[in-house]
Amino acid sequence: MRKILLGTTAVVGAALLSNVAQAQTAPTVRIGGYFEFTGAYVDDSADRNAVTIAAGTAGPARTVNRDKIDFRTDAEIVVIVGGKAANGLSYGAQVELQIDNFIPQANTTAGTGVDTDEAWGFISSPTLGTLQFGDQDSAASQMAVSLPGAVAQLGISSQWDEFVALAADGNRYLVADINDGNDSTKIIYMSPQFFGFDFGVSFAPNRREGEEYRTVTSGLTAGTQVLQRDPNDSLRNELSGAIRYRGSFGNIGVTAGLAAHRADAASNNNNLQDVSEYQAGLQVTGFGLTVGGMYRWGKYGGVTATALPSGRAQSSTWGLGATYVTGAIAVGGFYAKAERDNGGALADRTQTVWGLGASYTLAPGMDLFANYTNISDKNIAASATALAPVGNGPLARNRDIDVFVIGTRLTF
């Protein structure tokens, strides 16, 4: 399958590249991106007695709750390069510089900095389709059909999880779409639309991205280097694909799709299963209302495609949602549930999430939004053989969260 995909992509790529030479003008460069400010009220059972105060003049050592109010900013600067050949072929590249995800190391930074989110090039033909290459979402991630997304920043794993602490097993959220936006360096082919149908395929040799051939833990000497080509480093030979239908029947629009993803488990542990996952989705739109749902299932762990130990049953996620848009106002809601096998005789971990939200387009490119999300997380595991302790507080077995978010997003 990998050889077929690589061979097919090479043929399409050669055809597209042969036409790029007909370009008559230099590509143009423009700057885009977004800036977002959010404030949240967080009521999380895991925050109770989660902070230790050292003994001092105010009294003996004690534990206290975390604060419930927090602000955060998020921003990206996107450099977009694009050109067009005389025969209509488009080509270019996109580099997304994010300013939101540096974790401070000791006392070296304040949690802000710049690195790349995605960086990829493309060649696109109206008749041959689009070839993408670089650090970009997989074909399954780009084309999978999920819940309606008309309400700004309302979603099954949007906003609320940015404000909460990790659970005992290291995961904040379980509800997510297939492959959860994996940006490993890959090649992607996406077809033109035929009678409402289109499809896409992608391949990544491993899970690493960017310029380096070494992993983040690699040393600078030969004896300590770990290369991303090492079979025990990460998932390998990731194949991803999707087929989608988009059409209309009178005033009713329909979008349906099926996506799939598979990968070889790292060979440093013979007890790991290869990853395989699938997602089916459907959306129906008419008169400003969109309703839709998704179901994801397969052999995967965590929130993205991580390998499961042998003996673990498959995971699943499903969700339903609806949005209504009238003029500058959008309102919506959703309900979703994810389930993971904890292994052995341990009860499955389940996470149920529902939310309501609204957004208002104040001016072109500027949205105001507010949403509320309720999360119920049960049977969180502390290890491969035991659930976390009962009761409330940090690293507990069960967790209840309420998050109210209000914010603004400027897209430019």
* Structural domain includes residue 346: yes
Backbone φ and ψ for 262, nearest 5 degrees, come out as: -145, 155
* Structural domain includes residue 57: no
Look at residue 215 in the predicted model and tell me its pLDDT: 80
Whole-number Å distance between alpha carbons of 157 and 362: 25
In this predicted model, what pLDDT tens digit does every residue of 232-286 receive, in sequence order?
Answer: 888 999 999 999 999 999 999 999 999 999 999 988 767 889 999 999 999 999 9
In this predicted model, what pLDDT tens digit does every residue of 37-85 receive, in sequence order?
Answer: 999 999 999 999 989 888 877 778 889 999 999 999 999 999 999 999 9
Q: What single letter denotes the amino acid at residue 63?
A: T
Domain around 142: 2-51+65-213+222-411
* Structural domain includes residue 59: no
- Average pLDDT score over residue span 198-206: 97
- Single out the residue of 189, 194, 33, 212 nearest to residue 122, CA to CA: 189
Whole-number Å distance between alpha carbons of 152 and 407: 10
* Structural domain includes residue 102: yes
Look at residue 24 in the predicted model and tell me its pLDDT: 61
Does pLDDT of 291 surpass 60? Answer: yes
Query: According to the 3-state scheme, what is the secondary structure of the chain?
Result: CHHHHHHHHHHHHHHHHHHHCCECCCCEEEEEEEEEEEEEEEEEHHHCCCEEECCECCECCEEECCCCEEEEEEEEEEEEEEEEECCCCEEEEEEEEECCCCCCCCCCCCCCCCEEEEEEEEEEECCCEEEEEEECCCHHHHHCCCCCCCCCCCCCCCCHHHHCCCCCCCCCCCCCCHHHHCCCEEEEEECCCECCEEEEEEEEEECCCCCCCECCCCCCCCCCCCECCCCCCCCEEEEEEEEEEEEEECCEEEEEEEEEEEEECCCCCCCECCEEEEEEEEEEEECCEEEEEEEEEEECECCCCECCECCCCCEEEEEEEEEEEECCEEEEEEEEEEEECCCCCCCCEEEEEEEEEEEEEEECCEEEEEEEEEEEEECCECCCCCECCCCCCCCCCCEEEEEEEEEEEEEC
* Structural domain includes residue 177: yes
Instruction: Give the CATH number, domain containing residue 387.
Output: 2.40.160.10
Q: Which residue has the higher pLDDT, 67 or 88?
A: 67
Look at residue 124 in the predicted model and tell me its pLDDT: 97
In this predicted model, what pLDDT tens digit does every residue of 351-390 receive, in sequence order?
Answer: 999 999 999 999 999 999 999 999 999 999 988 889 998 8
For the entire predicted model, the pTM comes to: 0.88
What's the total number of domains in the chain?
1
* Structural domain includes residue 56: no
Whole-number Å distance between alpha carbons of 237 and 118: 20
* Structural domain includes residue 252: yes
Q: Is 225 exposed, middle or buried (0-12, 13-18, 19+ CB in 10 A)?
A: middle
Look at residue 4 in the predicted model and tell me its pLDDT: 46
In this predicted model, what pLDDT tens digit does every residue of 310-346 receive, in sequence order?
Answer: 888 999 999 999 999 999 999 999 999 999 999 888 9
In this predicted model, what pLDDT tens digit does every residue of 165-180 receive, in sequence order?
Answer: 989 888 888 999 998 7
* Structural domain includes residue 60: no
